[in-house]
A and B are shown apart, each in its own frame.
Chain A
Amino acid sequence: MTRLAWLALSLMLSTTLAAADGISSEREQELHNLLIQDCGSCHGLQMKGGLGPALLPELLQGKNVDYLSTVILHGRSGTAMPPWSPLLSPEEARWIAERLLQGVAQ
């Protein structure tokens, strides 16, 4: 019985760890699609730039997740970059920032 309880607890823990950022895998799929298709409509589907600047990892060196997620959430005034906070949570913006720094796989 105790064993079972431990098993259940460890299972719960591992589930919690997997979703440490609180984003379900289904939502990650949606975010990935948003990153490629909607961020891509200005930055290019391959993040090589368009009306907005290129966002390739080598060009983002020196910029961290905090900075990038702040720009995503609040936009850049005086530019066409809009604030995404009405559509994305801070955790989701961080998830996108991490993907950008890693390089967006096609």
Chain B
Amino acid sequence: MIRIIGCLLTLLVVNPADAARGTGDLGLFIERATSSVQIVETSGNTSIGSIGELGDLSHASVVYSRDERYAYVFGRDGGLTKIDILKAEISKRKLQSGNSIGGAISQDGRLVAVSNYKPGGVKVFDAESLELVADIPATYGDSQQRSKVIGLVDAPEGKFVFALWDAGEIWVLDMSDRSTPIIQKFSNIGRNPYDALITGDGRYYIAGLFGEDGMAMLDLWNLSAGVKRILPDYGKGEKKLPVYKMPHLEGWAVAGDLAFVPAVGSHEVLVIDMRNWQQAGRIKVHGQPIFVMARPDGRQVWVNFAIPDNDTIQVIDTQSLTIVKQLKPGKGVLHMEFEPRGEEVWLSVRDENRVEIYDTRTFERRNSIPATKPSGIFFTARAHRIGL
């Protein structure tokens, strides 16, 4: 009898579609060394499936369809894969460029855009069929060179926004009429924008600059005002420490009026007062911060670090602006993803081949899932958030 139940359970796990379940507690994480993803569920904290042969998944990222059934995986080798997470199978896949870095899904969920390093630019695809809808080469300068594109996000009113690493520009791409893409370019935003984010309300697009101090900000409600520099004095005259990994700006760690971002070349998290875009504080942390992510309620901010400090997580209390907890989950903590309401957080611990799940109230470890060199973790709740 137990055996039969066991068999039935196996069947359910192997073919989740038969279980007629919802997808709101599902997600996946990348196993970049094996070109695979594991499909996971956050109610019981288990892995429920795996899909392989997804190409080079260095720096891979994921967006979700609005029905939270399909995951679009952006691979480094230009691979764009649409995964049916209920059936745990690939529904469509194409190689759309030689070298890409990430993507975004449009406000209405009908278009998927990919940002490419080589050849530099953005390609926009139909989310259903993955047919090409628009090809936007990131050309700049008199000689019409092509720039690597970073920080691609979706924005309200059918727009995508992205930045040009080599050119120091921000482009706003209006795809509200898919047959007539309209591009608005902002140049001289600063040298080497390395990543960017859009605030959760879809209003402010902010690019971090590797080549100089401060960040470049575009107010999408007032495009005519152009790009402004915020935190211009940050780090002035200070010797910069080596940066062994580029910080990420994905998501916007916000608590009330305060936003938290990683400093570049110093072991600090910067606090920005969003009412006036001035620096409101600097919090000393354990190493070069990479991801600075707020728990969904904004009460805590979790920070991970670049090598050689990537075995550590620090938790900042956003009321006192102090570190209230330090964890050592293991070597190579690459990414964090909070469950939709934040009671638990998942951490990928690359060099220990595990994904760990922590309770964010007690900081106790809840579960550990075996994984092969895990990196990014992405839950379906992203489907309904602007910029993710």
Write the residues of chain A forming the contact surface with B, with a CB cutoff of 8 angstroms.
Answer: 33-34, 36-38, 40-42, 44-46, 48-51, 75, 80, 82-84, 86-87
Contacts and interface: CB of A to CB of B under 8 A. Distances in A.
B56 A42 contact: no
Contact of A82 (B58, B165, B242): B242
Interface in B199-213: 210
Given A44-B58, A45-B33, A51-B194, A75 B118 contact: no
Given A41-B245, A80-B210, A48 B307 contact: no
A51 B165 contact: yes
A40 B243 CA distance: 14
Q: Give the top 6 A-B pairs by smallest Cβ distance, nearest first.
A: A82-B242, A45-B58, A38-B307, A44-B58, A83-B242, A82-B243
B32 interface: yes
Interface of B: 32-33, 56-59, 76-77, 99, 101, 117-118, 148, 150, 165, 192, 194, 210, 242-246, 307-308, 332, 350-351, 373
A82 B59 CA distance: 19
Contacts of A46: 56, 58
15 contacts: A37-B351, A38-B245, A42-B246, A44-B56, A44-B76, A44-B99, A48-B56, A48-B76, A49-B99, A50-B58, A50-B99, A51-B117, A82-B242, A83-B242, A87-B308
Contact of B117 (A33, A38, A49, A86): A49
A4 B99 CA distance: 59
Nearest to B98: A48
B101 A50 contact: yes
Contacts of B117: 49-51
A75 B57 CA distance: 26
B210 A75 contact: no
A58 to B, nearest CB: 16
Contacts of A40: 58
Contact of B77 (A33, A41, A48): A48
Given A44-B76, A45-B33, A80-B243, A34 B58 contact: no
Contacts of B194: 51, 80
Contacts of B32: 45
Contacts of A86: 242
Nearest to A42: B246
Best-surrounded residue of B101, B148, B242, B332 (most CB of chain A within 10 A): B242
Given A38-B307, A44-B99, A50-B58, 6 more contacts: A41-B245, A44-B56, A44-B76, A51-B117, A80-B194, A86-B242
Contact of A80 (B77, B192, B351): B192
B243 A45 contact: no
A38 B244 contact: yes
Given A33-B351, A80-B192, A41 B58 contact: yes
Nearest to A85: B242
Nearest to B243: A82
Contact of B99 (A41, A42, A48, A87): A48
Best-surrounded residue of B194, B210, B244 (most CB of chain A within 10 A): B244
B59 A50 contact: yes
Nearest to A33: B351
A3 B245 CA distance: 55
A50 B58 CA distance: 9
A26 to B, nearest CB: 14
A86 B244 CA distance: 11
Nearest to A49: B99
B373 to A, nearest CB: 7
